[in-house]
Amino acid sequence: MRSHALSLIVVLVLSPLAALALGWGAWWYAESMTRNRIDSSRSMHRIRSPLHGEQAGSVTSVPAMSARALFSAYCAQCHGETGDGQGTQVLDRPARSFKDGGFSFGNTRDAIFRTISSGIGGTPMPGYADSLSVEERTALAAYVQTLGPPTLDVSTEDMVLQVGQVPVVVRGHLPSLGEGLPEHPRGLLLGGTDGLTTEYRVDDVRLLAVRQGRFVERTDWTGRGGTPLKPLGPVIHLVGGGDPPATFELEAGLEARLLGTTTRDGRASVLYGLGDDEHLVRVEEWTEAFTHPAGPGYVRHFDIQHLDEDRMPTFRLPGSDQRIIDRIDGPGRTWIVREGGDGRIEIHGFDPASATLTARGSEEGDLRLQLPRGTEATLSIVTLLPASWDESARELLRTGESP
């Protein structure tokens, strides 16, 4: 810029030297072009370096393109120009919306830098270690941070992740939920703004446990990798004793497959596909705190989309191996009361207008919900965890009111 202005002055004031000045300008321009070309060919052939040796650089080293231009060129087709996750490219799973703060691998500059460098295996998110310089990736990480909500800016020193105005999703190694229960190296924690945290195992997208209270400490950022996360809220419900059966059934061998997570509309959801490669059924599942006069609990919501209207999956009511104590038809909900582990009571409720209750074979307690035919269905299953079970609790379920 300065050399251009300089040449301009030279031209105007010292016209006899104009030809000389222009010649120099042209040489300078040609020279810088060759240098650029050498630079880019070098970065294209750069040997993939081991990532743990690499760190986000300082922002003072400015890359050739602005961070915004880099984002527009490399990322926007999937993540959207504003980072809202609404890019133009069709993906089999949604790209992350940075606006909603949906970072499952951490939202510090270093964590985002690592994601940009190595990509996310098994998802369309590519790694850029080979194609973008450390400076460019650092600038991008800082830029992605500016697209997210400020309440989620967690530094590595402050590892307790809190859920503020928006829900948070964290992916990582989950600790064992109790004696004799396994750890889950591929786990998912969804933190709601209502203080509820749900834990899923990623491989078959099953809900393992529900917690209430503070969210999570990122202990995995301290060790050399493999250190489990530390969810902070106490477990209020260990689903299926820690090894829950599949929720949906369509045909033999059907397993849920994670498509992604979202933090849209103020809720954190898991999105999964059931069935073959065409993902015949897509489910969005999210959980909310719920209280009934008969006791506290939570509600699981399912939005189900099906391409084939003749084949709706059946839903398996939770607690199939637990003895049924009672069945109560209350206002708007049918309640199945079961004896949980350790003499505790678990109550599951559903809206009878949304599905038909059927029993499976000879297993009396193994109840299913038959969803109506069609291409869409919604289902909400309430789980209540009352402190005790007696005639007055029964009456509360029947009438839906406190005495």
C-alpha 96/C-alpha 171 separation (Å) is 13
Region near ligand HEC per CB under 6 A, out of 2-10, 61-69, 89-97, 353-361: 89-97
* In the block, residue with structure tokens 């104590």: 325
CB of 267 to ligand HEC, least distance (A): 17
Helix (H, G, I), strand (E, B) or coil at 209: strand
Choose the binding region for ligand HEC from 75-83, 316-324, 330-338, 354-362 (rule: CB under 6 A).
75-83
Site for ligand HEC in 361-390 (CB under 6 A): none
Q: Which helix (H) or strand (E) holds 7?
A: helix 2-13
Task: Give the one residue of 56, 129, 139, 140 binding ligand HEC; rule: CB under 6 A.
Answer: 140
Count of CB atoms situated within 10 Å of the CB of 382: 18
Say how far apart CA 193 and CA 166 lie, in whole Å.
Answer: 6
For tokens 């919501």, what's the residue?
Answer: 301
To the nearest 10 degrees (0 to 180), the angle between helices 134-147 and 109-118 is 120
Tokens of 111: 């964590």
Pick the binder of ligand HEC from 21, 56, 67, 95 (CB under 6 A).
95
Please identify, using beta-carbon distances, which residue of 89 and 222 lies nearer to ligand HEC: 89
Among 21, 56, 75, 256, contact with ligand HEC (rule: CB under 6 A): 75
Q: How many whole angstroms separate alpha carbon 70 and alpha carbon 362?
A: 61
Work out whether 221 is an interface residue with ligand HEC (CB under 6 A). no
Concatenate the DSSP letters of all residues of 134-171 into one string. HHHHHHHHHHHHHHS-GGG---TT--EE---SS-EEEE
Give the shortest CB-276-to-ligand HEC separation in angstroms: 20
Q: Is 120 in the site for ligand HEC (CB under 6 A)?
A: yes
Q: Does 218 bind ligand HEC (CB under 6 A)?
A: no
Residues in the chain: 403
Query: In the complex with ligand HEC, which residue's Cβ is closer, 77 or 162?
Result: 77
Q: What's the min distance (Å) between Cβ of 275 and ligand HEC?
A: 19
Q: Work out which of 32, 40, 72, 89 binds ligand HEC, going by CB under 6 A.
A: 89
Binding mask 35-74 for ligand HEC (x = CB under 6 A): ---------------------------------------x
Q: 89 CB contacts (<8 Å, ≥6 apart)?
A: 77, 78
> Under the criterion CB under 6 A, does residue 146 sit at the interface with ligand HEC?
no
Site for ligand HEC in 100-119 (CB under 6 A): 103-105, 112, 115-116
- Residue 147, classified by CB atoms within 10 Å of its CB into exposed (0-12), middle (13-18) or buried (19+), is middle
Using CA atoms, how far residue 296 sits from 57, 344, 347, 386, in Å, is: 49, 13, 10, 6
Does 270 bind ligand HEC (CB under 6 A)? Our answer is no
Binding residues for ligand HEC, per CB under 6 A?
A: 74-75, 77-79, 89, 91, 93, 95-96, 103-105, 112, 115-116, 120, 123-126, 128, 140, 144, 260
